[in-house]
Structure 1
């Protein structure tokens, strides 16, 4: 079951934001495994049935909050070159997603009914960077995802240590060379 499309404003948006805020606050205060729908509902000022009606279960709600957090708050840094912008984006992405909250977020998204949404978000971020440099040859967003983002995510999810920044830089160089 997927969450229904919500109107961009009004009561529905306020309720969703209240629930999302409650989830974020509880995840900062306690271990993820101990967070419950009744706790979230009490913190958000809604009934548990409101949460179940919109999201179906706790894992779908956690995934929805994680997906919302993946949306960037601001534009990625501008360095003056495609390679520089990609390095800045990749370093920030590696740092954020390698953190304990970032790892949990990636796992929640992976468990969601729409894990491909993560690739859509990352693809949009990378496309925005590529679009800044229309006169530079670009390998295309799919290649950037495959060569930069995918190895970062793989190491975060399936390795004890995240990828080294130097390795990320090397992958960017490879991705930019045909």
Structure 2
């Protein structure tokens, strides 16, 4: 029989370091990626994206959990771990997800990424959404959508333009 009389708090904390159950600096969605060569991936994200390591935990010389601060959002990562059913991104040309990253200068960031070994999937262009946009695949198999908003559009106007564009695509 399971003991359900725990005295542990189950109510969202709210205080100096936490707001409504979310640690300060985090958003309500924080992806975790299983990447081969996590230590190298961390260095890549620091050098290319300017990410700051918040913390990293190693077990047996392997990064099992690291948290990176990208300025306005966090990303967690670690080595693939079969015990937790965490597998790396698929090999080959296909991607099963893409992480979107807004930044001040998409052109400069994409150039840094390419110089550091990323593959440009979709070259830089200005899209109808008002975003300067490119997609890359980093050396660890993660697809990134790199964007800079270059037109000051409302959410509604940006969405309207994208829907209009999509309708014209057939």
The two structures have a TM-score, normalised by structure 1, of: 0.27
User: Quick check: which has more Rg, 1 or 2?
Assistant: 2
The two structures have a TM-score, normalised by structure 2, of: 0.28
- The structure carrying a bigger helix percent of its residues is 1
- The structure carrying a bigger strand percent of its residues is 2
